[in-house]
A = this chain, B = another copy of it.
Amino acid sequence: MPRKTDKRIRLIEAAKVLIHQKGFNQTTLADIAQEADVPLGNVYYYFKTKEAIGEAVIEKRAAEYAEFFAKLDENSDPKSRLLSLLQFSVEDLELTARYGCPVGGLCQELGKQGGSLADQAAKLLHDLLVWSESQFRTLGFNEKAADFALNLVSNIQGIYLLTHTFKDPKLATRQAKLLQEWLEKLTAGVQRGTKQVAAEVA
């Protein structure tokens, strides 16, 4: 195993954390180099530009998302998968209160500047939308599945923003309760599995 990947990985991990904490534009290559314990000039051996580091970080986030979805998919039914999505861990909420959602923050910041980095960040949220919609479809919702997914993801991103703005993790837990109730009501009649029931409830 060459050392090459070792430093590269350290740089990506350092960049991932720092970009979450300070934002992409406010994170300097010097910051990243220091955090990764790599000399500044050496960074350019692994990444041609700062944007290339951003790209690698987003790819890392995408991989982590995929892993996360895989874990959610271990739940036997779509309803418990969606409910698991809403089970925010305490550590995550602490991080969110301090620095906001890593993905939402990127989309917000990079969306203003355009370019391919913005598109790659948007893809992360898109994946979450697609995953959610797929759950609602499996539950039997057809036309409404996309709207429900939009509602869910929008809600999660919104509450992350408020949690960050007011530095209060409890806001997220409060709102998660409302969302859980919403899911319960939606799926109340669906448990028995017929698509007809789902269509009725919707």
CB-CB < 8 A to A26: which residues of B? 25, 112-113
Most chain B CB within 10 A, of A111, A153, A155, is at: A111
CB-CB < 8 A to A157: which residues of B? 157-158, 161-162
Is residue A122 within 8 Å, beta carbon to beta carbon, of the partner chain?
A: yes
Contact B125 A112 (CB under 8 A): no
20 A-B pairs whose Cβ atoms sit less than 8 Å apart in the complex: A21-B112, A22-B113, A23-B25, A23-B109, A104-B161, A105-B108, A105-B112, A107-B161, A108-B161, A108-B165, A111-B165, A111-B167, A122-B166, A147-B175, A151-B178, A153-B158, A153-B162, A156-B158, A158-B158, A158-B161
CB-CB < 8 A to A151: which residues of B? 155, 175, 178
A167–chain B nearest beta-carbon distance, Å: 8
Chain A interface residue count: which class?
35 or more
Contact B126 A112 (CB under 8 A): no
A19–chain B nearest beta-carbon distance, Å: 10
How would you classify the secondary structure of chain A's contact residues: helix, strand, loop or mixed? helix
How far is B178's CA from A171's CA once the two chains are assembled, in angstroms? 22
Is residue A137 within 8 Å, beta carbon to beta carbon, of the partner chain?
A: no
A49–chain B nearest beta-carbon distance, Å: 17
CB-CB < 8 A to A158: which residues of B? 153-159, 161
A11–chain B nearest beta-carbon distance, Å: 21
A111 partner, pick from B100, B112, B121, B150, beta carbons under 8 A = B100
CB-CB < 8 A to A141: which residues of B? none
CB-CB < 8 A to A167: which residues of B? 111
